Structure 1
Amino acid sequence: MNNLSYPFLLLALLAEIIGTIGGFGSSVFFVPIGNFYFDFYTVLGLTAVFHLSSNLSKMILFKNGLNKPLLLYIGIPSVLFVIFGSILSKYLDGYWLEILLGFFLIGLSLLFLLKKNLIIQPTHKNSILGGVFSGFSAGLLGTGGAIRGLTMAAFNLEKSVFIATSAAIDMMIDLTRTIVYYENGYINTKTLIYVPFLFAIGLIGSYIGKRLLVHIPQTKFKNLSLFFILIIGIVSIGKQFF
């Protein structure tokens, strides 16, 4: 118990709540936060484990059906390319992966902030491409939910169906990358001690996020989340040079 970082656990809970309300998923906050406490590879392992419980809870809390076509067109390429990204991460230095993550977060936040009416056409081709890029990003950088969310938004799904379908796809991704990360050596004793706590945080954070979602205008909160992501991206790059 003395080896646990309680501030990290508290921030993980906050990341789960904000990720649920904002619609970007917790990893976009969890990964850069984790990098302040652990090396990048350990954070990748922790993220995969954390997401398993997070997505399971979302599938239970938002269980009003799944969009099976999207589960197929986005889910399958996501799983295939998360394997590729997870394997590639082993051969890239964690220093450069953190910098790449910072630029990814900055680019992602600016894209959503400046292109508020950005629309992707709801086609099978775009669904597959969204799955490819979100899966690869999840495997390499630990986060890809925002890319998948942008792709799925084109299909104008009912909120609970959107969250349940996204969580189901994410579950497929996390089960796959957990195996690869384990083989890479990212999941070790340092990681496993946090598993029961992160599992509980995933359930509690998703529940709190769902309750708050009813009372908070998602559009306004989404913009606030994007500013957080932008700041986190800048800080992630800055800490590599100072």
Structure 2
Amino acid sequence: MDYFIICIVSLLASGLTLFSGFGLGTILLPVFALFFPVEIAITLTAIVHFFNNLFKLVILGKHANKKVVLAFGIPAILFAFFGAYTLKHLTGLAPLYDYTLYNKQFYIEPLKVVIGLLLIFFALLDIIPKLKNLEFNSKYLPFGGVLSGYFGGLSGHQGALRSAFLIRTNLSKEAFIATGVVIACMIDISRISVYAESIIEQKDLLNYSLVIAATIAAFFGAFFGNKLVKKVTIEYLQKLVAFLLIIFSIFFILGII
């Protein structure tokens, strides 16, 4: 059943990224978090996200703008390490609060609070017009790399911030997408290298065949989604996904999930 649910969601999530405005990691992370501890869920999501981007890199990589990749990507790589180490520091911290509901004990944990708040923030970032339309001058690319890299390393949320900084670089559509994919791969490599220690320590909790299955499902979702619909945003669907993410995040922060 775990395979079925995660693969179906991975397939649908990958397809949804083509027209919902949300990235694969944003949608897939909550699903993994239902079956694994949050730090493992982030690691598994990172692996699927990396292989999915690697697939795109092979197809689109030649269009990437090297100047932008270096200006944005180098700070992103460095701060992705910091973000990943912040995740490691938060893992295992004592609960902030515990309470009983219907004779069941629940715990509010620092890591879940941070990840839940980030999910809410990035969900709102994609649906509130003033936040959604944020753009930054290209001279701030290194700062954009710092922010995107750090949050990418911490929770995997990097796409929205990356787009806000790259949108003003006047790249062609192909170059914009390809440059974003290259930078995303760089951040994923950085954070996975830090997560590797946790992967080794908690290898019994990891299900590699599940990761492979979810990755393949994501490939098919991207392929068929691209065949069915062009890169457009369906506002209603975007708001629905954001609402569900926010509801999940609230339960996540409260320790119910």
What TM-score, normalized to structure 1? 0.85
| CA distance in 1 between partners of 2:156 and 2:58 (Å) | 23
Structure 1 residues 130 and 235: CA distance shift in structure 2, 3 A:
same
* Cα distance between partner residues in 1 of 2:243 and 2:168: 23
Alignment match, 1:115:
129
- Equivalent pairs: percent with the same residue? 30
Kindly report structure 1 stretches of 4+ aligned residues shifted beyond 6 Å: none
The structure 1 residue matched to 2:52, chosen from 54, 60, 71, is 54
Structure 1 unmatched ranges of 5 or more? none
Residue 138 of structure 2 contacts residue 166 of structure 2 at CA under 8 Å; is this kept in 1? no
Q: 1:227 to 1:51 in 2, by over 3 A?
A: same
Helix, strand or coil at the partner of 2:234 = helix
Structure 1 segment 28-177 matched on structure 2, within 5 A: 28-63=26-61, 65-93=63-91, 95-116=109-130, 118-125=133-140, 127-177=141-191
TM-score normalised by L of structure 2: 0.80
**CA deviation profile, 1:162-189 (whole Å, cap 9, x unmatched):** 2221111111111121111012337624
Among 216, 222, 236, which residue is 1:206 paired with?
A: 222
Q: State how far apart, in whole Å, the 1-side matches of 2:157 and 2:225 are.
A: 19
> Per-residue deviation at 1:92?
0.6
Over the aligned positions, Cα root-mean-square deviation in angstroms equals 2.5
Deviation string 1:118-176 (CA, Å, 9 cap, x unpaired) is 34233222x11221111111111122222112222223433332222111111111112
Per the TM alignment, residue 63 of structure 1 is displaced from its structure 2 partner at its CA by 4.9
The answer to whether 1:233 aligns with 2:249 is no
String of CA shifts for 1:41-87, please: whole Å, max 9, x gaps: 11121112101211012223435611222211111111111111111
SS at match of 2:63: coil
What CA distance in whole angstroms lies between the structure 1 residues aligned with 2:166 and 2:148?
Answer: 11
Q: Which has the larger radius of gyration?
A: 2
Q: Which runs of 5+ in 2 are unaligned?
A: 93-108
CA contact (8 A) 1:109 1:229 kept: yes
Does structure 2 retain, via aligned residues, the 8 Å contact 1:13–1:205? yes
Report the Cα distance in structure 2 between the residues aligned to 1:188 and 1:237, rounded to whole angstroms: 29
Contact 1:119/1:154 (CA < 8 Å) preserved in 2?
no
- Measure how far apart 1:191 and its partner are: 3.6
The answer to whether the 8 A contact 1:106-1:230 is kept is no
Of 63-72 and 93-102, the range deviating more from structure 2: 93-102
